C-alpha cells in the first residue's frame, strides 16, 4: 500500500506538501499540485481515513441508532441528517431490530472514535448501560430520561393526549378506544395516565389498556378493527398513537362499510403526510424540529456552539375524520 512518502518521492516534493494537497490545507503552487495529483493517481493512493480522524480528533460522522426505522422515526431522522450535512457531517444509520448486542456494537463505535456523536431514537438497552458511553462523546435521545449525561428532545405526551381526549369530548365522543405503542415506553405510560384521568374526570368506565398495547404492525391494527366490528356497543372514537396506524384503521373500517366520522371518529398522532393525504385528524408536535433539535444539541457540544432549540408544543389538526358528532 503506497504511503505519503512514496507520493512525495515520485512527485519530487516533501511529505508536508503532499499532505497539504491531499487534505486541501494550505497553499500549494498549481504546477506542484498537478505533480502530486498525478503521483496519487499513478500509485492508486487512498488516504487512511482512520489515521486522519485520529490526527484531527473528529470523524465528522454522527450515528443514528434505532430499533426500527418506521415512518415516525424517519420523519425525525431526515431533518437531523439535513442539518448535520449543512454543518459538514455525514450520518450513519444503525437498525438494531431491538437486539441489545447490536445496539452496543454501534455505541462501541463512539467509544473507538469512529463516531463523533449519537442520536438514539428507539433503544433496546437499559439506561445505566448506555449512560456510560456518554464519557466518549455526546449522546442525545428521543426518549424521556432524567439524565445529566444524555439530554433529550422529548416532549411530554400526557399534555398532547389529554388535549386529544378533551377535544373528542367537546364534539360529543365519550366512549373512546386508545391504541398504544410500546408497552415499556414512557410516552405510552403517560398516554394511559391521561386517559385514566380523563375517564375519572368525566365519570367514565375506561377501556382496558392491555389488549391495545404494542399496536405497531399492520396485522395488529387489523385485529383491532375486527374486534371493533364484533362489539355490540362500539367505541365512538379511536385514538391511534401514530398516523400510520390511524390510516390502517380508517382504511379497514371503510372496507367494512363504516362511515367516518359518523360511525366512529378517528384521530392519529404525528401529522405525517399520510394524515394529510387521507384527511385524518391528528396531533402535530413539530417532529421535524425534534430531529433538528437533536442535531443542534450534538453540534452545540462538538462545534462549541450555543444554538437555541426550537420550542415544541402540541397542536390539533382537525380534518374530516372527526368533524361530525354521532
Q: How confident is the model over 4-41, as pLDDT tens digits?
A: 888 888 889 888 888 888 777 778 888 888 998 898 88
Q: Is residue 56 very low, low, confident or very high in pLDDT (cuts 50, 70, 90)?
A: low
pLDDT on residue 50: 56
Question: What's the pTM?
Answer: 0.77
For residues 125 and 181, membership in a common domain is answered with: no
Give the C-alpha separation, 314 to 317, whole Å.
10
For residue 71, what is the domain's CATH number? 3.40.50.2300
Mean pLDDT of 289-306: 94
For 223-276, the pLDDT digits (tens) are 999 999 999 999 999 999 999 999 999 999 999 999 999 999 999 999 999 999
Residue 187 has a pLDDT of 85
pLDDT reported for residue 142: 87
Domain boundary among 111, 128, 152: 152
Does some domain include residue 296? no
How many domains would you assign to the chain? 3
pLDDT given for residue 258 in this prediction? 97
Asked whether the beta carbons of 238 and 251 are under 8 A apart, the reply is no
Q: Is residue 323 part of a domain?
A: no
What integer pLDDT is reported at residue 146 of this predicted model? Answer: 73
The verdict on 66 and 133 lying in the same domain is yes
Which has more pLDDT, 117 or 147?
A: 117
- CA 114 – CA 264 distance, rounded (Å): 51
3: Cβ–Cβ under 8 A, 6 or more apart, which residues? none
- Both 277 and 163 in a single domain? yes
Q: Do residues 83 and 13 share a domain?
A: no
In a domain, 16, yes or no: yes
* Structural domain contains residue 79: yes
Could you tell me if residue 326 is inside a domain? no
Question: Are 104 and 138 within one domain?
Answer: yes
Q: Are residues 281 and 163 in the same domain?
A: yes
Q: Is it the case that residue 114 has pLDDT exceeding 80?
A: yes
Which three-class secondary structure state does DSSP give residue 176? strand
Question: Residues 92, 297, 112, CA angle at the centre, nearest 5°?
Answer: 45
Same domain, residue pair 110 and 143: yes
Range of the domain at 204: 157-285
Phi, psi dihedrals of residue 254, rounded to the nearest 5°: -65, -35
Query: Residue 28: which CATH number?
Result: 1.10.260.40
User: Over the stretch 79-113, which tens digit does the pLDDT of each residue have?
Assistant: 999 999 999 999 999 999 989 999 999 999 999 88
- Mean pLDDT of the chain, nearest integer: 91
Same domain, 174 and 264: yes
pLDDT of residue 304: 92
Are the beta carbons of 220 and 150 closer than 8 angstroms? no
Q: Would residue 322 count as lying in a domain?
A: no
Q: Which of 318, 299, 319, 317 is nearest to 309 (CA)?
A: 299
Q: Is 76 helix (H, G, I), strand (E, B) or coil?
A: helix
pLDDT exceeds cutoff 70 at 55: no
- Residue 177's pLDDT band (boundaries 50, 70, 90)? very high
User: Is 80 exceeded by the pLDDT of residue 324?
Assistant: no
307 assigned to some structural domain: no
Q: Are residues 106 and 194 in the same domain?
A: no
Amino acid at each position: 500500500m503506497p504511503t505519503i512518502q512514496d507520493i512525495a518521492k515520485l512527485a519530487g516534493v516533501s511529505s508536508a506538501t503532499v499532505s497539504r494537497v491531499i487534505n486541501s490545507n494550505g497553499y500549494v503552487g498549481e504546477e506542484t499540485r498537478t505533480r502530486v495529483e498525478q503521483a496519487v493517481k499513478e500509485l492508486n493512493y487512498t488516504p487512511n481515513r482512520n489515521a486522519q480522524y485520529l490526527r484531527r480528533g473528529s470523524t465528522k460522522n454522527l450515528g443514528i441508532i434505532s430499533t426500527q426505522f418506521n415512518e415516525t422515526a424517519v420523519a425525525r431522522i431526515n431533518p437531523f441528517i439535513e442539518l448535520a450535512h449543512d454543518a459538514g457531517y455525514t450520518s450513519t444509520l444503525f437498525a438494531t431490530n431491538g437486539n441489545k448486542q447490536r445496539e452496543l456494537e454501534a455505541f462501541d463505535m463512539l467509544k473507538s472514535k469512529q463516531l463523533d456523536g449519537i442520536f438514539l431514537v428507539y433503544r433496546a438497552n437499559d439506561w445505566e448501560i448506555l449512560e456510560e458511553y456518554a464519557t466518549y462523546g455526546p449522546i442525545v435521545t428521543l426518549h424521556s430520561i432524567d439524565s445529566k449525561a444524555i439530554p433529550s428532545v422529548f416532549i411530554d405526551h400526557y399534555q398532547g393526549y389529554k388535549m386529544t381526549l378533551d377535544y373528542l369530548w367537546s364534539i360529543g365522543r365519550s366512549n373512546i378506544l386508545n391504541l398504544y405503542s410500546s408497552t415499556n415506553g414512557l410516552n405510552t405510560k403517560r398516554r394511559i395516565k391521561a386517559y385514566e384521568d380523563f375517564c375519572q374526570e368525566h365519570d367514565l368506565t375506561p377501556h382496558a389498556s392491555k389488549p391495545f398495547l404494542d399496536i405497531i404492525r399492520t396485522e395488529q391494527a387489523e385485529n383491532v378493527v375486527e374486534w371493533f366490528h364484533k362489539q355490540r356497543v362500539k367505541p365512538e372514537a379511536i385514538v391511534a398513537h401514530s398516523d400510520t396506524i390511524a390510516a390502517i384503521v380508517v382504511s379497514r373500517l371503510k372496507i367494512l362499510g363504516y362511515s367516518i366520522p359518523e360511525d366512529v371518529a378517528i384521530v392519529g398522532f404525528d401529522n405525517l403526510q399520510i394524515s394529510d393525504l387521507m384527511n385524518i385528524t391528528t396531533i402535530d408536535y413539530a417532529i421535524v424540529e425534534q430531529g433538528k433539535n437533536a442535531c443542534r444539541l450534538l453540534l452545540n457540544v462538538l462545534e462549541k456552539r450555543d444554538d437555541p432549540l426550537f420550542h415544541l408544543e402540541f397542536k390539533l389538526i382537525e380534518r374530516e375524520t372527526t368533524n361530525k358528532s354521532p
